[in-house]
Copies of this chain bind each other. A is one copy, B any other.
Amino acid sequence: MELEFLGTGAGVPGKFRNVTSVALKLLDERNSIWLFDVGEGTQQQILRTTIKPRKIDKIFITHLHGDHLFGLPGLLSSRSFQGGESELVIYGPKGIRQFVQTAMRVSDSHLSYPIRFVELGDEGVIFEDAKFKVSFLRLDHRIESVGYRIVEKSHPGQLQVEKLKEMHIPSGPVYGQLKRGEKVMLDDGRQIDGQDFLGAPQPGRIVTILGDTRKTKNSFLLAQNADVLVHESTFAKNESKLARNYYHSTNVQAASIAKEAHVRRLILTHISARYTGKMANELQKQAQTVFKATKVVHDFDIINVPLR
C-alpha cells in the first residue's frame, strides 16, 4: 500500500506543483489503484509514473472545485484509449455525474468501459468488500467538501505450522481449511479447530484523505488512529485568519488534528505556489513543533504505508 502524490498544489497549477491528485496504490492488496481528486493535468503527471490508467477502478472526488476536478474527463478518455474495459466507479458530491456526462456528450466520447456514479448522500460507509471499507464525512469548505477514511480489514493470523507439525498433522489441503479458521476432521478421526492454530490477526491500515476544509470536528473523527492522514495546508501558522476567510486550514491546524486523532503520520499537501522551496520546508518545520511525524509532500513523492 502506497500513496503517490500526482499533484500537491493549491488553486492553480504552478511550475513546480500541479493541482491536486493522489493515488492510493493497492497493487498487492487488490491489484488496483484508487485516485483521490483529479486536477487538470493528472493524466500527464501519470505519464511520468508507473501507474496504468486501466488499473484505476475507483475515483473519489472530495469536492467539485476545478483544481480537484478538471482533469477527470481527459483521464477517463485516456483510460479508454489505453484499453480499459473494467467498470470504473466515481464517488463525489452531487454534480459530478452531470459534469462528466456533459463533457463526454459534448466531446462525443465513447468510452470502452462502463462508469458507475455514486453521488454522496448520507454520511457513512460508501464501499465495503472483504478487504476494505470506505466511509466519508462532510467537512467545512466554501462548497460541499468531504473527507474519506479508508480502512483495511484486519489480516487473519498466520497458520502456526510448527504447532501442527508437533501434533503430527500432515500438510495437505487440510492446512488451507485450518488457515481459514475452519473446523476439520482428520483421517485419524481427530477433530481440530483452525482457530486454535492461528496467530493473532494483524490489524489493517487506515488512510484518511481530506478535501479542502477549515479545521473541523469531522476531520478529527475521520483521522482517528489513522496510519496516514493526508491534509491540506493552504496557509501557514500565522495565517489562521486568512485560512478561515478562505475556508482552508493552516499547517499547524492540520498538525493539531493529527495529534488529537493519534495518527501515525501526517502528510501536508495543497501547498500554495507562494510557498516555494525553502518556505515549504518552513511549513513542515512549523507543523512539526505540534506533530513530529509531519511531511510536506512534493509532486511524485511516494509514501509507503506499512503494516504495524
Interface residue ranges, A against B (CB under 8 Å) = 11-15, 18-19, 40-41, 43-44, 47-48, 64-67, 69-71, 73-74, 77-78, 81-82, 95-96, 98-99, 102-103, 106-109, 142-143
Contacts and interface: CB of A to CB of B under 8 A. Distances in A.
A12 B70 CA distance: 16
A261 to B, nearest CB: 29
A99 B70 CA distance: 12
Contact of A66 (B12, B18, B48, B74): B74
A81 B11 contact: yes
Contacts of A108: 64-65, 142-143
Contact of A107 (B69, B82, B107): B69
A43 B13 contact: yes
Contact of A64 (B18, B19, B96, B106): B106
Nearest to A47: B15
A78 B12 contact: yes
Interface pairs A-B: 6 shortest CB-CB: A40-B74, A102-B102, A99-B106, A66-B107, A95-B106, A41-B41
Contact of A73 (B44, B70, B109): B70
B109 A66 contact: yes
A74 B41 CA distance: 10
A240 to B, nearest CB: 23
Given A69-B107, A102-B102, A108-B142, 10 more contacts: A13-B43, A13-B74, A15-B48, A40-B41, A40-B74, A65-B108, A66-B103, A66-B109, A67-B77, A96-B106
A81 B98 CA distance: 25
A96 B106 CA distance: 8
A7 to B, nearest CB: 10
Contact of A98 (B64, B67, B70, B102): B102
A186 to B, nearest CB: 59
8 contacts: A12-B43, A13-B43, A14-B47, A41-B41, A44-B44, A66-B74, A66-B109, A70-B70
Nearest to A16: B47
A106 to B, nearest CB: 4
B73 A66 contact: yes
Nearest to A73: B70
Nearest to A65: B107
A64 B77 CA distance: 13
Contacts of A82: 12
